[in-house]
Amino acid sequence: MSEHIEIHKILITAGTHGNEMSGIEYLRNLLSNKKIRAQLLGQESDIGIELALVNKLAIQRRARYVEEDLNRQFSQEKLSALSGENLEHQLAIEFNLAYGPKYEPTRDLVIDIHNTTSNMGPTLIILESDEFHQQMARYVKTNMPEAIILIEDHIPYKQHPYLCSIGKKGLMIEIGPQPQGVLRPAAYLQTEKMTKLVVAFCDLWNKQMLGQLDAVDAFRLTEEVYFPLSSEGEKLAMIHPSLQNNDFIVLNKGQPTFLSFEGDTLVWEGEDNIYPHFIGESAYYHLNIAFALARKTVI
């Protein structure tokens, strides 16, 4: 039995990306509306919750970021700089001082809320698969069967450059599909529901009142897949229409993956039983990332 670490300080963040409206609107409501805030956590809890809208200028501009992706600035290397090379780098340094620091964390759990343009459904992204995260995944999925559990533990937790990595534990809520800069009701409601479940889980975890939870299906990130490119770096194809929106649906050898602009179907030549997700995510388009891959597992 591993040490039972209790969760007493939770930081909930949104607006790490300034155009992801479900988290931003939910945080705004939590900050300004006592009734909505009271729904997040019962009175019988000794958990303290802090709320932060992170990249205010990007939110004001309804842009993902001003100069660089903030959610890639929380690496050891970047945080150890004395001053930032751009607005988001500087913001990361300041945010780490205010709510971290990453290597001597003061917050027990950081919940960073995002949304994706991909058809991923309500996704809980966990970065470790220890007992705490295993139990959390089970609790969330049991109480929200439509939830997807995505595990990104291919590198040690603190090696992630994500904002949530400044906590003792950190995770992301990633809801899709929702276009950038707009609120879709389903995304908002799923954001609210999943956030509440994570907080409720922490309370039950502290009180050791979870009981027996059955193992649930999950996905484990393996790699990213790029668009076919010309020698000049221009895309030669788009996502195949039959793959678009099929996030977390199995892909096997020989199935259509890309449709070239000349009309040729390019089929999957990688491994069988693989699960694409972040299919055609808007924020990755300019990076030429077509989708990410995961293997199915249980947690």
Binding residue numbers: 17, 20, 114
Shortest reach from residue 48's CB to Zn ion, in Å: 25
- 68, 88, 174, 192: the catalytic one is 174
Question: Contact between 114 and Zn ion (CB under 5 A)?
Answer: yes
For the bound state, the minimum distance from the C-beta of residue 62 to Zn ion, rounded and expressed in Å, comes to 13
One symbol per residue from 211 to 250: x for binding Zn ion (CB under 5 A), - otherwise; what is it? ----------------------------------------
Among 12, 14, 17, 147, binds Zn ion (CB under 5 A): 17
Other beta carbons within 10 Å of 96: 21
The window from 54-62, 74-82, 113-121, 178-186 that contacts Zn ion (CB under 5 A) reads: 113-121
131 is known as an active-site residue: no
Contacts of 126 (CB under 8 A, 6+ apart): 133, 136, 137, 149, 150, 151, 152, 153, 171
**Min CB(15)–Zn ion separation in Å:** 9
Report long-range pairs for 23-28 (Cβ below 8 Å, ≥24 apart): 23/113, 23/114, 23/115, 23/173, 23/175, 23/191, 24/53, 24/59, 25/183, 25/188, 26/113, 26/188, 26/191, 26/192, 26/195, 27/51, 27/52, 27/53, 27/113, 28/53
Cα(152)–Cα(223) distance, integer angstroms: 10
DSSP 8-state assignment for residue 247: T
Question: Residues binding Zn ion: what is the number (CB under 5 A)?
Answer: 3
Considering the complex, state which of residue 63 and residue 189 has its C-beta at the smaller distance from Zn ion: 63
* Closest distance of CB 127 from Zn ion, Å: 15
Q: Which residues are annotated as a binding site for Zn(2+)?
A: 17, 20, 114
Nearer to Zn ion, 107 or 114 (CB): 114
Active site residues: 174
